[in-house]
Amino acid sequence: MAQLAARYGVGLRPSRVLAIAAVFLLIALPFIFVFPRLQVRAEAALVLKVQQEHAATCDKLGRPPGTAEHSSCLTELQRLKDFHEQLFASAVEGIL
């Protein structure tokens, strides 16, 4: 059987092994290095957007930045956001 494989060129020669490894690395490297960085950037942008929305909401409510009321307003908005996220997560978990 091994003689037939050698005669007809079937099997894993070093060049094929290297080619398979190269293709694997070309496919796997973005998943290892690039995509996690993109996810971190997206999460940071989302956090920044939420903070800006909260600050604008507190400002509209008459709690100017730099005051204790503004700080407590931001804390309360974050608490409400966390509560709603937990409520949504538990509802989704109940469906699945």
16 vs 82: which has the higher pLDDT: 82
Residue 18 lies in a domain: yes
50 closest CA partner among 61, 62, 39, 58: 58
28 part of a folded domain: yes
Half-sphere exposure of 9 (CA within 13 A, CB side): 2
Residue type, 40: V
pLDDT at 4: 58
Whether 5 is covered by a domain: the verdict is: no
Of 13 and 80, the one with more pLDDT: 80
DSSP per-residue string spanning 7-21: HHT-S--HHHHHHHH
CA 37-21-4 angle, to 5 degrees, is 160
Identify the domain containing residue 35 by its residue range: 10-95
Domains of the chain: total:
1
Please state the rounded mean pLDDT for residues 58-74. 92
- Asked if 54 contacts 70 with a C-beta cutoff of 8 angstroms, the reply is no
pLDDT, tens digit, 9 for 90 and up, residues 14-48 = 777 888 888 888 888 888 888 888 888 899 999 99
Residue 24 in any domain: the answer is: yes
Residue 58 lies in a domain: yes
